[in-house]
Amino acid sequence: MDYIPTVEKSGSKILAGPFGRAALLSLKARLTAHAHAHCHLIMKLSGPDQEFVVDGRTLPLSNNRAVLVNMWQEHHYTPINTDAPSTYLALYLNPNWLRQRDEIFEGCNQPGYFTNSSAPVSPSIRRVANELRHVLNDSMPQSETASDLIVDIMKKFACTERRANPGALPVSDYRIRRALDRMHESYEAPYDFNALARYSGLSRSRFNVLFKEIVGVGPAIYGNAIRLEAAVSALASRSRAQDVATDLGFSSPANFNRFFQFHTGVPPAMFRKSLQKPAS
């Protein structure tokens, strides 16, 4: 049998590496609207069928349909069945790493690489996903084995769902480029978007419109993604959640916990605990 539903031994398992992150997540709660600087795959392993929203389109998450999300594509998760958690394989992949692994991923760092966010899950994809699940559940997961399985899964999706001739990124307006640079330099505190608009020489309303036209998401979602990745990096370096909250300028650890869980599905302390140590 290609697919045997199982319940994971714990709520989440996360492996981080040059590829990005691979996670087993058991979710019942919603995730707020967000975006990533990653190629993103969400694939259901067990539990009730659910739905995922990408750029306003409601898509199925089931045994035979997965969700593909391009970098900087807005998405959120609102479960329709909360009787039991659904367990997912979630991949957050570094586009540059993918491009180095195979030429089929050329263009994955550009908007619209995946033309269809709802993708069929073939028996061969299911088999490889189950292999990756077992690797992630190992107490000392083999990072290189995980990397090879990730590439195998993504190649199978890319063969059918990618854009054949990826176009170039839109030319960035220098005013938005200035704002992006400032945001990446000053993520240690909540962003003042009125000040960013003034710094860019734009009204707030024009700044919001132009930012989304060029980047693909609004400044608030982009800023949250920067701060989330800073938190993930700090937690991966074994920083305590309360210290990360202070370093990122959150008004309280509780506000940081809420922010982190609404974006990832797990509290920061659990995320830190769930990070797997790769076998050397």
In angstroms, the CA 33 to CA 55 distance is 10
Contact 40, 88 (CB under 8 A): no
Which regions of the chain are under pLDDT 50?
1-10, 166-168, 171
Residue 267 has φ and ψ, to the nearest 5°, of -65, 155
**pLDDT of res. 240:** 93
| In the chain, ranges of CATH 1.10.10.60 domains | 174-274
**pLDDT of res. 164:** 57
**pLDDT of res. 3:** 27
CATH for 174-274 is: 1.10.10.60
SS3 38: coil
**pLDDT of res. 4:** 27
**pLDDT of res. 1:** 26
- The residues near 118 (Cβ < 8 Å, ≥ 6 apart) are 59, 60, 65, 66, 67, 68
Q: What is the dihedral of CA 69, 71, 73, 76, to 10 degrees?
A: 60
Residue 89 has φ and ψ, to the nearest 5°, of -90, 120
**pLDDT of res. 146:** 94
Tokens of 214: 């060029």
| In the chain, ranges of CATH 2.60.120.10 domains | 12-161
Pick from 155, 156, 125: nearest CA to 3: 125
pTM value is 0.87
Q: Which ranges of 138-192 does DSSP label H, i.e. alpha helix? A: 143-161, 174-185
- Please count the other Cβ atoms lying within 10 Å of the Cβ belonging to residue 34: 18
Q: Which ranges of 18-122 does DSSP label H, i.e. alpha helix? A: 95-101
| Rg over CA atoms, the chain | 19
**pLDDT of res. 269:** 92
In angstroms, the CA 200 to CA 179 distance is 6
Distance of CA 8 to the CA centre of its chain: 20
Arch. (CATH architecture) of 12-161: Sandwich (2.60)
